[in-house]
Structure 1
Amino acid sequence: MKIIQVYSTFNIYFILFVALLATIVSSSKSNNADPESQCRIVSKAFDNEKLVEYDTAKKCIESFPFDAKFADDTIDAVSHFMSSYYVFLDQAKEEPPKGFTYQPVDLIKELNSLREKTFKSDYGFITALRNTIFKLKDGHTRFIDICYQSFIYDQNLTLYSVVTTDKEKKQKQIIKIFDDKLDSSNNDCEVTEIEGKPAIQAIIDFANDNIAYSKDLGVRFNMALAPSIKIFSQLFTLREDLPETSTITYNLKCPKKSYKLTRKWSVAFSSAAFENFCFDTRNNSAKITSRDKSTGSTSSGFYLVNDGKVGVAVITDESTNSIFGLADGLRQLTKRGAEKLILDMSNNVGGDPTVPLFTSLLLFPSSRSRQPNFFPTSININNFTIPIIKKNFDTNSSDSDDYNPFSFLSFPSGEPFKNVNEFIGPRKNLTSGLHLNPLTSDEVQLLKSTSPFRWTSDEMIILTNGFCISACALAALYLSEFYKIKTIAVGGLLDTSMSFSTFPGGLGTSENVIADEAGDNNIEVPGGNSLLLAIREAYDFNKNNITTGVLEYLFKPADYRLYYNESNARDPSFLWVDAANILNKKP
């Protein structure tokens, strides 16, 4: 099998879990649980860039005392923003559509129930709050506390799931060790049990109970394991929340022996200066915004398989600085004679809302004059936002935010909004009229300067491991829905349909950005902590431009399925060859 690398670009796409936040020290500390004394060892170790023991970290984290007033104020703020701006608040109460796996949640009711509880520590309260929000299974929505969530708990090994075929040609799914950093002789040993439970079931339970970033269990299962990469991945053995136990015991079945491996958690801090995070005053804490992002490099690459007849475009993000590399890479594939195209959108971390539209128009330029040419969205509006919307319209505001009608185009015409009422719309609960994101000037210019590519929709196929999030999900769904490009999902659970994308909610942002844009100064999340939430929802629609459902709650399984094995989990080119065979309609 010959793989030819054609073109590669590297860009920095910033994703944030963390920003400078919070103090959590109450003025009513007890001498027996003084955080500064309990955390002295942790602070010293992290200042010297060394690891700490699990028990030491646990004592430190749990030494911050529970403050009932702080908890009440936090619940007040979270409830206010979620009830006023969270677009899926009512739908979250409903039973999941067939294909999704999660429990309905009456979020405001459950948040209020936390007021009736007394917690042993501040960490106990924060964890309960985060877990309540995580029940939504919405990757755009979560509560962040930098002091606690900046600890990293690492097993120094990663697991993966492979599907094997026995002599009777029956398929079986097992868990194996993908990479053991401490003992490479364990690599590819089968994991038969985890903590006395069958390994597959242990991962499924973890994906159900501890992973919140997809409504599809198969996608969450992939997120728990390797070879998913970047954010939201390898979550079983690399965690940001304090594990319940100091070790995990694995029953291993290796070629030469079977034995139990008990592995401790190694604990590090993901940012420097521990005291600056955990012992600052609340008033000095910095707030996270939707524009703050932590560094993490991603790369896009372009390759040829099947003797150069099939091109592969590996698209790892949807950021605006990636569009030039995408266009140039596709040109290179065309020049090298690629007759068909695989769009590998696995491990795609999403990005900017205009890039999915740009991608579809780049591949299908003949649709540039068609209206509408992408999924419409809407936002919830309220008494805070209506005056802002009217002011923005009346003053011809140039601010780019969610409450400025000039930031959007009307659906389905693709024209600017004529008046405020057209933007607000007639829908119930003061939900805004449907709107579209206009392309940026760079995107418009690049489309004009790029000649059409040769590939038709029948000559393309999309490949993902389900980890195609947010803007990537919108791009993949649109190419599948309206251009009928076939899709392949990789991994997940054996013989269970799986999504090829996840949380296409529309847009997520932070509560302080919302407050600033909406003029909502009534309340804020205390202590510098931050709430991220989905404030815009995207809709599927039919040829008559009638919306047919909220994309976040529509189960869209892939057309084809591939599973990981010992080869393709480590070298994606094997998956590309399998995808090329499907594209060429080979068995």
Structure 2
Amino acid sequence: MKIIQVYSNLNVYLILFVTLLVIVLPPSTGAISCSKASSALKKNKSIKYNDLKECLESFPLDAKLATETVDAVLHFLSSYYVFFDRAKENPPSGFTYQRVDLKNELDSLRKKFKSNYSDYDFSTDLRNIIFKLKDGHTSITNLCYQGFSYDQGLSLYSVVTTDKEKKKKQSSLISIIIFGLGIAKGVFEDTVDSSNNNCEVIEIGGKPALQTIKDFANNTIQYSKDLSVRFNMALAPSQQYFLRQFFQQFTLREDLPETSSIKYKLTCPKKGSFTLERKWKITYKDGYDVFSYNCLQQNNETTSSDKITKLTSRDKITKSTLSNKFKTSKSKVSKIAHAKVINEGSLYLLNDKSKSGVVVISGEQSKDEDDLKYSFQELKKNGTKKIILDLSNNPGGEITVALFLTSLLFSSKQPNSFPTDIIINNFTIPKIENFFKTKSTEDDYYNPNVFLSFPFGSHFNSSSDFIGTRKKRTSNLYLNVLTSDEKKLLKNVSFPWTSDDIIIITNGFCASACALISLFLSEIHNVRTIAVGGLLDDQMSFSTYPGGEIASPNEVASSAGDKITDVPGKNALSFTVREAYGFDKNNTVKDVLEYSYKPADCRLYYDEKNAKDPSLLWHEASKILHNEVKC
């Protein structure tokens, strides 16, 4: 029988055709308990919370499969996850997260297998263990349980106000406005009842609104080790490109909420004070057919021995990119009233006398490198004196694009990227030696021929040079190689700007390859940085999870020649496979970037105007760049 499976996230669709060997069994308990949820989905209606909860908790635990899943997860994380040991350490000052002993946590999980422990309980507990790492590259997703969308129909934002004594105050309120993000004041937009727009939220669930959002960001969001960045992600972004999967996570979730509804105490200009109780609108992202297959049919089928890797677009892993994994939705466009549009969404000139230009970079994809070069050439033609790089809401992308951008702006400087390394296992050493012996140019984690040694970009002289002498790690460290097309684009490029002419502004969510760009420009070229939003009076990171590179188990297993090829069952694992390091002016390798707190040089906060119009933030950045104001 041929099963056609459609996966979607933010309007990205992936169709997989898989041949399955089917054994027909009697209807499962899960199928019966899910009848009400199934009926709602067939009618394209929202599922009632209690109906879905009954459905998800009805699947019995297969203790043997759960044991095999834990074994496989532990194997891949202990063998390839570069932060496996470092995660056990206390966080550096500035970061807020728990230390995690993955082996102990996973071993403790086995002790929970009992008669009243459901498959959903197991999947949730496993997922929460991985989430404690606060590593955006590393997660586990169940194809059934994380396929649902839980939407409050509200978008919250937050602001910092200045009182009569010119003291900044972070409101304990969260408001509802039309499109924008901030630090703690309100409702961004209510898609159910527009009369709630611009109302302020005083309490959520009987607690002060600000504290509720802060607690949620601290305990639930995984994508940054910096609480202020996670706080921003709990709310809605103030940029024109809307990454719904990352932001407004308090009101738009993919894990079953603890309660069927949330009560908001609001105060509104026209309606006064009142309590709003909002139930979750619950849908399956890809519709009934995919729900039936992912959640029901798999309990009635035995697949062939070949593992079928079914990844949502959120979890589809490519070797050096997050850009294919997370897509940007242009569902709404912010007002850009204080800048001239050169290229919508990417290039602007401020409408003042500063001669400042703005380059908005929303992702790192090789197909966009021509546009990047064009943007800076256009700014040069326009006589732009200063450049603002807006890297907010950037989920990352291809590593070589990070090299390309730094080389584009600072072509004479070497090295042009941070050094990295990977874990070396006994069974990977023969592969490394064979790659070197055969002079293969295959793109592979363990091929020394496709990397350059740090710091001068030299080719490795031998396989042992690549392997090095450090226990379990490569020793000489290595750099990615620019492609021939990228090298051609960089030929005969010359720009007039120095480090003093450029400033970076982000809301903290400049992730993966974007983090490597912003950190490299900041650390190596002394480009100043601005972080926007977060918690008042706390320093804040301008980037997040620069780890190095993301991978899936089957990809690494294939590359390493591992006998264990994937995690069994419906759980899709991803993890950081390469570790990136900072270095000093003498090219001496120092800190691990993922575990180094790098706060921005300057800080701006959202208010009710710049939350809706980012060009106001650009003007503030320009004043800092021109040294008109101190940060």
TM-score, normalisation: structure 2: 0.86
SS of the equivalent of 1:463 reads strand
How big is the shift at 1:380? 0.4
Match of 1:389 in 2: 432
Residue 199 of structure 1 aligns to which amino acid in structure 2?
Answer: A
Alignment of 1:81-480 (within 5 A): 81-118=76-113, 120-174=117-171, 175=174, 176-227=186-237, 229-230=242-243, 231-256=245-270, 257-272=272-287, 273=289, 274-278=291-295, 279-280=297-298, 281=301, 283=303, 285-288=308-311, 290-291=317-318, 293=325, 296-297=328-329, 300-307=345-352, 309-367=355-413, 370=414, 372-449=415-492, 451-480=493-522
In the alignment, the residues of structure 2 paired with residue 20 and residue 211 of structure 1 have an alpha-carbon distance, to the nearest angstrom, of 30
In the alignment, the residues of structure 1 paired with residue 40 and residue 404 of structure 2 have an alpha-carbon distance, to the nearest angstrom, of 47
In the alignment, the residues of structure 2 paired with residue 414 and residue 235 of structure 1 have an alpha-carbon distance, to the nearest angstrom, of 41
How big is the shift at 1:519? 0.5
SS of the equivalent of 1:527 reads coil
How big is the shift at 1:358? 0.7
Give yes or no for the alignment of 1:485 onto 2:500. no
Q: Is 2:394–2:511's contact at 8 Å kept on the other side of the alignment? A: yes
Q: Is 2:553–2:565's contact at 8 Å kept on the other side of the alignment? A: no
Q: What do the CA deviations read for 1:119-151 (whole angstroms, capped 9, x no partner)?
A: 532111000000001111100000111111110
SS of the equivalent of 1:536 reads strand
Q: Please, what is the CA RMSD of the aligned residues? A: 2.4
Alignment of 1:465-544 (within 5 A): 465-522=507-564, 524-544=566-586
In the alignment, the residues of structure 1 paired with residue 168 and residue 500 of structure 2 have an alpha-carbon distance, to the nearest angstrom, of 30
In the alignment, the residues of structure 2 paired with residue 14 and residue 361 of structure 1 have an alpha-carbon distance, to the nearest angstrom, of 32
SS of the equivalent of 2:399 reads coil
TM-score, normalisation: structure 1: 0.92
In the alignment, the residues of structure 2 paired with residue 456 and residue 545 of structure 1 have an alpha-carbon distance, to the nearest angstrom, of 21
Residue 41 of structure 1 aligns to which amino acid in structure 2?
Answer: K
Closer/same/farther in 2, CA of residues 553 and 293 from structure 1, 3 Å limit: closer
Closer/same/farther in 2, CA of residues 547 and 360 from structure 1, 3 Å limit: same
Q: What do the CA deviations read for 1:63-106 (whole angstroms, capped 9, x no partner)?
A: 11112111111100000001111100111111110000011110
In the alignment, the residues of structure 2 paired with residue 523 and residue 410 of structure 1 have an alpha-carbon distance, to the nearest angstrom, of 30
Closer/same/farther in 2, CA of residues 384 and 297 from structure 1, 3 Å limit: farther
How big is the shift at 1:48? 4.4
Closer/same/farther in 2, CA of residues 14 and 249 from structure 1, 3 Å limit: closer
In the alignment, the residues of structure 2 paired with residue 99 and residue 144 of structure 1 have an alpha-carbon distance, to the nearest angstrom, of 29
In the alignment, the residues of structure 1 paired with residue 519 and residue 542 of structure 2 have an alpha-carbon distance, to the nearest angstrom, of 8
Residue 46 of structure 2 aligns to which amino acid in structure 1?
Answer: L
Q: Is 1:193–1:251's contact at 8 Å kept on the other side of the alignment? A: yes
Residue 290 of structure 1 aligns to which amino acid in structure 2?
Answer: I
Q: Is 1:20–1:277's contact at 8 Å kept on the other side of the alignment? A: no
Q: How many matched pairs?
A: 566
In the alignment, the residues of structure 1 paired with residue 12 and residue 576 of structure 2 have an alpha-carbon distance, to the nearest angstrom, of 15
How big is the shift at 1:165? 1.4
Residue 399 of structure 2 aligns to which amino acid in structure 1?
Answer: P
In the alignment, the residues of structure 1 paired with residue 217 and residue 373 of structure 2 have an alpha-carbon distance, to the nearest angstrom, of 37
Residue 553 of structure 2 aligns to which amino acid in structure 1?
Answer: E
In the alignment, the residues of structure 2 paired with residue 294 and residue 163 of structure 1 have an alpha-carbon distance, to the nearest angstrom, of 30
Residue 140 of structure 1 aligns to which amino acid in structure 2?
Answer: H
Residue 487 of structure 2 aligns to which amino acid in structure 1?
Answer: V
Match of 2:180 in 1: none
Residue 303 of structure 1 aligns to which amino acid in structure 2?
Answer: Y
Percent identity over paired residues: 55
Residue 365 of structure 1 aligns to which amino acid in structure 2?
Answer: S
Give yes or no for the alignment of 1:35 onto 2:30. yes
How big is the shift at 1:168? 2.6
Closer/same/farther in 2, CA of residues 153 and 303 from structure 1, 3 Å limit: same
In the alignment, the residues of structure 2 paired with residue 221 and residue 293 of structure 1 have an alpha-carbon distance, to the nearest angstrom, of 22
How big is the shift at 1:578? 0.8
Q: Is 1:20–1:146's contact at 8 Å kept on the other side of the alignment? A: no
How big is the shift at 1:394? 1.4
In the alignment, the residues of structure 1 paired with residue 531 and residue 11 of structure 2 have an alpha-carbon distance, to the nearest angstrom, of 24
In the alignment, the residues of structure 2 paired with residue 64 and residue 133 of structure 1 have an alpha-carbon distance, to the nearest angstrom, of 22
Greater mean deviation of Cα atoms: 412-421 or 128-137: 412-421
Q: What do the CA deviations read for 1:168-188 (whole angstroms, capped 9, x no partner)?
A: 322221321111111122122
In the alignment, the residues of structure 1 paired with residue 137 and residue 408 of structure 2 have an alpha-carbon distance, to the nearest angstrom, of 27
Q: Is 1:283–1:528's contact at 8 Å kept on the other side of the alignment? A: no
In the alignment, the residues of structure 2 paired with residue 219 and residue 296 of structure 1 have an alpha-carbon distance, to the nearest angstrom, of 19
How big is the shift at 1:15? 11
Residue 162 of structure 2 aligns to which amino acid in structure 1?
Answer: T
Q: Is 2:143–2:570's contact at 8 Å kept on the other side of the alignment? A: no
In the alignment, the residues of structure 2 paired with residue 399 and residue 144 of structure 1 have an alpha-carbon distance, to the nearest angstrom, of 30
Q: What do the CA deviations read for 1:440-468 (whole angstroms, capped 9, x no partner)?
A: 1111110015x312221111100000000
How big is the shift at 1:18? 9.4
In the alignment, the residues of structure 2 paired with residue 40 and residue 396 of structure 1 have an alpha-carbon distance, to the nearest angstrom, of 58
Q: Is 1:21–1:527's contact at 8 Å kept on the other side of the alignment? A: no
Residue 95 of structure 1 aligns to which amino acid in structure 2?
Answer: N
Closer/same/farther in 2, CA of residues 310 and 568 from structure 1, 3 Å limit: same
Q: What do the CA deviations read for 1:296-316 (whole angstroms, capped 9, x no partner)?
A: 457851001142611000000
How big is the shift at 1:413? 2.3
Residue 391 of structure 2 aligns to which amino acid in structure 1?
Answer: M
Q: What do the CA deviations read for 1:192-232 (whole angstroms, capped 9, x no partner)?
A: 11111111111111111101111000000011001264132
Q: Is 1:78–1:525's contact at 8 Å kept on the other side of the alignment? A: yes
Q: Is 2:153–2:251's contact at 8 Å kept on the other side of the alignment? A: yes
In structure 1, runs of 5+ residues without a counterpart are 1-12
How big is the shift at 1:50? 3.1
Closer/same/farther in 2, CA of residues 162 and 295 from structure 1, 3 Å limit: closer
SS of the equivalent of 1:158 reads strand
SS of the equivalent of 1:354 reads helix
Residue 104 of structure 1 aligns to which amino acid in structure 2?
Answer: R
Residue 77 of structure 2 aligns to which amino acid in structure 1?
Answer: M
Residue 211 of structure 2 aligns to which amino acid in structure 1?
Answer: Q
In the alignment, the residues of structure 1 paired with residue 237 and residue 429 of structure 2 have an alpha-carbon distance, to the nearest angstrom, of 46
Q: Is 2:326–2:395's contact at 8 Å kept on the other side of the alignment? A: no
